[in-house]
Amino acid sequence: MHPLHDDKLKKLEERAAVIREDIIKMLITASSGHSAGSLGLTDIFTAFYFHILNHKPKNPNWSGRDRLILSNGHVCPARYAAMAEAGYFSKTKLATLRKLDSPLQGHPEPHRLAGLETTSGPLGEGTSQAAGLAYAAKIDKAPWRVYCILSDGELQEGQTWEALLFAAKYKLNNCTFIVDRNNIQIEGRTEDVMPLEPLAKKFRAFNFHVEECAGNDIRDFVNAIERAQEITEQPTIIIAYTIPGRGVDFMENKFEWHGKTPVGLEAKLALNELRTLKGKIKSEHE
User: Looking at residue 159, what is its pLDDT?
Assistant: 95
Listed in sequence order, the residues at least 6 apart from 57 whose beta carbon sits closer than 8 Å to its beta carbon are 83, 86, 87, 88, 115
Q: Are 123 and 157 in contact (CB under 8 A)?
A: yes
Q: Are 78 and 42 in contact (CB under 8 A)?
A: yes
- E strand intervals along the chain: 67-70, 146-151, 175-181, 184-185, 188-189, 209-214, 236-241
pTM metric for this prediction:
0.97
Which ranges of 141-263 would DSSP assign to H, the alpha helix?
Answer: 158-169, 190-193, 199-205, 218-229
> Residue 74 is which amino acid?
H
Nearest to 148 by CA among 65, 36, 66: 66
User: Looking at residue 282, what is its pLDDT?
Assistant: 84
Q: In whole angstroms, what is the distance from residue 140 CA to residue 148 CA?
A: 20
What is the DSSP code (8-state) at residue 246? T
Q: In whole angstroms, what is the distance from residue 35 CA to residue 104 CA?
A: 16
Residue 209: count of CB within 10 angstroms of its CB: 20
Q: Are 57 and 115 in contact (CB under 8 A)?
A: yes
User: Looking at residue 203, what is its pLDDT?
Assistant: 98
Q: Given this structure, which CATH class describes domain 6-285?
A: alpha beta
How does 16-45 read in b/e, with b if 16+ C-beta sit within 10 Å?
Answer: bbbbbbbbbbbbbbbeebbbbbbbbbbbbb
Residue 249: count of CB within 10 angstroms of its CB: 10
Nearest to 244 by CA among 158, 161, 181: 181
Instruction: Please list the pLDDT of the chain residue by residue as tens digits (286 residues).
Output: 888 999 999 999 999 999 999 999 999 999 999 999 999 999 999 999 999 999 999 999 999 999 999 999 999 999 999 999 999 999 999 999 999 999 999 999 999 999 999 998 789 999 999 999 999 999 999 999 999 999 999 999 999 999 999 999 999 999 999 999 999 999 999 999 999 999 999 999 999 999 999 999 999 999 999 999 999 999 999 999 999 999 999 999 999 999 999 999 999 999 999 999 899 998 888 7
Residue 200: count of CB within 10 angstroms of its CB: 16
Q: In whole angstroms, what is the distance from residue 31 CA to residue 274 CA?
A: 18
Burial (CB count within 10 angstroms: exposed 0-12, middle 13-18, buried 19+), residue 282: middle
3-state SS assignment for residue 195: coil
